[in-house]
Amino acid sequence: MLPIYDMYINGEWVKPSSGEYFESVYPATGKAWCKVARGNEEDVNKAVEAAYDALTNPEWANTTFTERGHLLRKLGDLLAENVDEIAELETKDNGKLMREMKGQISYMPQFFYYYAGLADKIQGETLPIDKQNMFVYTKKEPIGVVAAITPWNSPLYLTFIKLAPALVAGNTIVIKPSEYTSTSLLQFMNLVEEAGFPRGVVNVVTGYGHDVGQALTTHSKVRRIAFTGGSEAARHIIRNSAENFSRLSLELGGKSPNIVFDDANLHNALMGVIAGIFGATGQSCVAGSRLFLHEDIYDEFMGMLIERTRQIVVGDPMDPKTEIGPVATEQQLETIEKYVKIGLEEGAKLVIGGKRPEHMKEGWYYEPTIFEHDEHTGCLVTEEVFGPVLSVMKFSTEEEIVQLANSTDYGLAAGIWTENIGRAHRMVDQIRSGIVWVNTYRSISPMAAIGGSGLSGYGREGGLDSIEDYLEKKTVWINTSDEQMDDPFIMR
């Protein structure tokens, strides 16, 4: 009998109103391994009402910023003590390498520690107002109920960068994880409870977008929506947010350029290229899916890249020797195959890969795949594939590569590989991207914001500034004069 996961609402484990559950499938085998509650509008209403009530519950409303920081730090400590269990659940849900998930989850407490440290640095201002006998200051208050909608590729990481600043600011939150990857977050709720967060402060409603997501993003008591996912879903959420005038941040996809100049350290660049497109089976918003090689090192680098790609071990994500695991969903595997088929029809040159691996009889696996392109055209170059598929092109000058790198509707990430510090700075200034890595790729930190522009969305998550998105600024005017007020029909 499969394990069953219920929802977490108002500090309790709650069965779905519908009585229905859906299966979560292990991508390495294509077989169901557990059942998850299928929530609906009724469940969303319960969760939002619980979150709304918690805003005025003295147990939460009267906590100081410092006290909330202590709670976050304790939560980070508990996460650090439960890495193996939570990492295994995440691997079972989305097929990422167990060694990758253990490394990622081991680092995640730093996000809670960072925002815990910022808790008592949130402050208002005294304004040098231009009027006599007026004392004016600002203060920061929680915005209210936050809705967080998270994807399947990095479920906990992309939840924590929303959850930590939301909580330290004093908000309450309702989280809708991807229907493909709900269990690690549900398990994490036990730690939220153990850390001592009051009932209703953190809630999780599992289910599908058209049921849970729609109800959550249109709810009248939701004041902020933080979304990570695809552009089509984002368009629906933007329209939904008009119903409640919620603040909105969108962290979407990308078609990121990874640029290798002729003076680069080629070994390090190779490692960065491999990490950028084949790490996490290419299922990363910041995947470096467009590789641009300077013409003088093109042949040498391509030889190195093809050789290293041949050596990549595709296999069981639980095996520590595996380097590429399965794609997270069967639908995504079919999407990758569709793009590869169209790319071949459009004239892209297949160098290596391009099919399911023959030795993996079960599960949703795809070989690391490389295409060469003569022109910056075609679906493989312009559209997000979200899989282990790399498009490679030549360039000759800085001016040319800036134009090529910016020839996209996305603007999330970019990589630059050069030993010339002046060139690095010139590229950073000219490439249109929310994140730029120089001589590294896929580095993260709680101190560094992520986000993009264009089809990559808007708003930033992580870093100091993200706290402001979870706060309202209140301006307070105090008349210090004892004089009698006269004319009420003039502004003072």
Q: CA-to-CA distance for 153 and 176, rounded, in angstroms?
A: 14
Pairing state between β 453-454 and 410-411: antiparallel
Residue with tokens 């569709």: 338
Nearest-angstrom CA–CA distance, 174 and 51: 7
Q: Which of 49, 100, 179, 251 is catalytic?
A: 251
Q: Is 285 a catalytic residue?
A: yes
Alpha-carbon distance of 193 to 12, in angstroms, equals 9
Residue 337: alpha-carbon gap to chain centroid: 25
Tokens of 474: 């209140």
Element holding 32 (H helix, E strand): strand 31-37
CA dihedral 227, 413, 289, 334 (to 10 degrees): 0
Q: Is 379 a catalytic residue?
A: no
Dihedral sign from CA coordinates of 419, 420, 422, 425: negative
Q: What is the 3-state secondary structure (H, E, C) of 328-387?
A: CCHHHHHHHHHHHHHHHHCCCEEEECCCCCCCCCCCCCCCCEEEECCCCCCHHHHCCCCC
Query: What CA–CA distance (Å, rounded) separates 191 from 184?
Result: 11
Separation CA 71–CA 117 (nearest Å): 11
Q: CA nearest 297: which of 272, 264, 258, 274?
A: 264
> Which helix (H) or strand (E) element contains residue 224?
strand 222-228
Within a 10 A sphere around the Cβ of 490, how many other Cβ atoms?
Answer: 6
Compute the half-sphere exposure of residue 269: CA atoms within 13 Å on the CB side of its CA: 25
Catalytic residue among 34, 285, 379, 461: 285
User: 83-94 vs 155-168: helix axis angle to the nearest 10?
Assistant: 130
**CA-closest candidate to residue 145, choices 221, 80, 74:** 221
> Which residues carry out catalysis?
251, 285
